Structure 1
Amino acid sequence: MNENGRILVLGIGNILWADEGFGVRVVERLAADWRFPDTVTLMDGGTQGLYLLPHLEAADALIVIDAIDYGLPSGTRQIFRGDHVPAFLGAKKMSLHQTGFQEVLASAMLLGRCPPTLILVGVQPECLEDYGGGLTATVAAQVGPAAELVRAVLRDEFGVEAEPCAGQIGLASAAVARDAYEGGRPSAEDACRIGDPRVLAALSAGMA
């Protein structure tokens, strides 16, 4: 791709479910530490699904960052390209919210507007069942390396150079930035995240 191509770097996932927020946190790191040329768009895609379609249609290349369950040790990073990126409904499930994103890619392909270059960067999660939880230490340790991997891909494969710009404003509200979100999280004792036993007991009694 020439340097005038439009590149979308998309972090997807749900920051409310522990390691599932990995992709969002990587894009957040990139946005906070680096300034990219106008040809590169960094986006927190969250779990928006088909709402992301117009953004894909406008891109010449797509780099997706996500938590990926491929049965390897927690924290393992992998990169997939082209046809290896699961793009169609019914393909082997690799991403934790792949169904929704498969629909986005399939729709873009049906319309003939899918970015011709597809790259997927992911990490094997350790925990997904902690509602309100932040990244586990194992996966959090991969945020920086994954961000550097994406930056290397942009530089080496697309000729895009970034300028360091530590401390600039992030992509989302400061209240949900990783440090604020994880630092302000109440303890499990103060805010039970697995279900109040009193409510569960009442439900069980009602179904008896």
Structure 2
Amino acid sequence: MIIVLGVGNSLHGDDGAGPAVAAGVAALGLPGIAAYDCGTAPENFTGVVRRAGPDLLVIVDAAEMGLPTGSVRRIPLERICDTAIGTHMLALSHLVRFLADAAGEIVVVGVQPACMGDREGLSAAVERGVLEVVRCVREGDVGRIEVMG
């Protein structure tokens, strides 16, 4: 089983990348894949993850990685703190540590934002990044997403 947690605030522009990925994956309706829009409180979904015990947990969030807008990267777990990731309450590094024993593998995916101000909707480049992540989940190949250098 695969679980996707989309983290972010859809009312803050490109910070809605994670929720957009969750919505895109959920719309696929694929067996064995569940997706949740965690908003800014991914810690509220730890029980769901623990009960399911997924083989793969994919956490998606907007992340300042110093890359062109819409770039998608897998963020090594030890480098989560190196990115300006998230506007949510609990740091993703704490969430990942808390869930380390609840999933076979945890992958954090960042999408480079352009604007995370008070506005709804994603920039075109971030929308393309979101579609790339959804495609990789659909094809069961998040491993092909480039690792952040």
State the TM-score, normalizing by the size of structure 2.
0.79
Letter matched to residue 97 of structure 1: T
Aligned positions, number: 140
Alignment of 1:139 with 2:119, yes or no, is no
Q: CA RMSD in A?
A: 2.4
Instruction: After TM superposition, give the deviation of residue 143 of structure 1 in Å.
Output: 2.3
- Counterpart contact for 1:75–1:142, Cα < 8 Å: yes
In structure 2, the partner of 1:74 is 69
Q: 1:111-190 alignment to 2 at 5 Å?
A: 113-129=101-117, 131-152=118-139, 154=140
Q: 1:1-208 alignment to 2 at 5 Å?
A: 6-32=1-27, 34-37=28-31, 39-58=32-51, 59-60=53-54, 61-80=56-75, 84-86=76-78, 91-97=81-87, 99-109=90-100, 113-129=101-117, 131-152=118-139, 154=140
Structure 2 gap ranges (5+): 144-149
Return structure 1 stretches of 4+ with deviation > 6 angstroms: none
Structure 1 gap ranges (5+): 1-5, 158-208
Q: Give the secondary-structure state (helix, strand or coil) at the position aligned to 2:37.
A: strand
Instruction: After TM superposition, give the deviation of residue 155 of structure 1 in Å.
Output: 5.8
Following the alignment from structure 1 to structure 2, what is the Cα–Cα distance between the partners of residues 20 and 136? 10
Among the aligned pairs, what percent are the same residue? 26
Gap change, CA 1:75 and 1:53, over 3 Å in 2? same
Which structure: greater strand fraction? 2
Query: For residues 60-94 of structure 1, what are the alpha-carbon distances to aligned partners after superposition, in whole Å with 9 as ceiling and x for unaligned?
Result: 320112111111111111124xxx12588xx3234
- Counterpart contact for 1:7–1:41, Cα < 8 Å: yes
Using CA pairs under 8 Å that are at least 6 residues apart, name the structure with larger relative contact order, 1 or 2: 2
Following the alignment from structure 1 to structure 2, what is the Cα–Cα distance between the partners of residues 65 and 53? 15
Q: Give the secondary-structure state (helix, strand or coil) at the position aligned to 2:116.
A: coil
Instruction: After TM superposition, give the deviation of residue 125 of structure 1 in Å.
Output: 0.4
Gap change, CA 1:156 and 1:45, over 3 Å in 2? closer
Larger Rg: 1
- Counterpart contact for 1:17–1:128, Cα < 8 Å: yes
Instruction: After TM superposition, give the deviation of residue 102 of structure 1 in Å.
Output: 2.6
State the TM-score, normalizing by the size of structure 1.
0.59
